[in-house]
Amino acid sequence: MINKLGLHARAATRLVQLASRFDAHITLHQDEQSADADSVLGILLLQGSQGKNVTVRCCGPDAQPALEAVCQLFAARFDEKE
């Protein structure tokens, strides 16, 4: 996680909206926890904060473009100004 606020409500919502565009199952993994990218609550429960490592796994017909889009969203700091 590179964005200052981590996986807060607005970022989680952006991620869920992005994930819904793909025919893929997207899962986020942090430490011993995991969450489906289609669940805002699940993402918030990961308590992702700046400096934490999050692994993204995708499977399904759109797995590769979904992974690229999610990684781009993380790299863009969820389009938030810091």
* Among candidate residues 76, 70, 68, the one with its CA nearest the CA of residue 17: 70
Spot the catalytic one: 5, 8, 14, 77: 8
Type and span of the H or E element at 58: strand 55-59
Report the relative pairing of strands 55-59 and 25-30 from DSSP bridges.
antiparallel
Instruction: Decide: 9 and 48 in contact? Cβ < 8 Å.
Output: no
8 part of the active site: yes
SS3 55: strand
Enzyme catalytic residues:
8
